[in-house]
Amino acid sequence: MPAALPLLLVLLLSACATQSPQESRDLQSCRRAADSGMGLGVSIDPADEYTANPMVLANREALRDQYQTLVDQCMGQNH
């Protein structure tokens, strides 16, 4: 899992580089809206960031999917 983080970062940065300034502002706005909509309870405690617990990992994946769905819906409304 830790090896995937740098790859994800590179992909996100390259995606941001190909966006227009308006798209970048929209994406930032949509991410803030998703953060707000999901609430504070979904943040990951840094002490628990690395875990082998399959239930915790499954929960995180479900939260990521929910977050991405909120961002995608918001971006769809902005275009």
Task: List pLDDT tens digits, range 40-76.
Answer: 667 777 777 788 888 888 888 888 899 899 999 999 8
pLDDT at 17: 53
List all residues 6 or more positions away from 71 whose beta carbon is below 8 Å from its beta carbon: 27, 30, 31, 34
Q: Is residue 62 part of a domain?
A: yes
- pLDDT higher at 29 or 7: 29
CB 34 within 8 A of CB 75: no
User: Are the CB atoms for 78 and 30 separated by under 8 Å?
Assistant: yes
Query: Domain for residue 16, yes or no?
Result: no
Answer yes or no: is 15 within a domain: no
pLDDT tens, 9-50? Answer: 555 556 555 556 566 678 889 988 888 888 866 777 777 778
In whole angstroms, give the CA distance from residue 43 to residue 79: 29
Radius of gyration of the chain (CA): 14
Asked whether residue 14 is assigned to any structural domain, the reply reads: no
CA distances from residue 20 to 24, 26, 53, 63 in whole angstroms, order as listed: 6, 10, 40, 28
Is 13 within a domain? no
The pTM of the full predicted model, rounded to 2 decimals, is 0.60
> How many domains would you assign to the chain?
1
Note down the domain range covering 73: 21-78
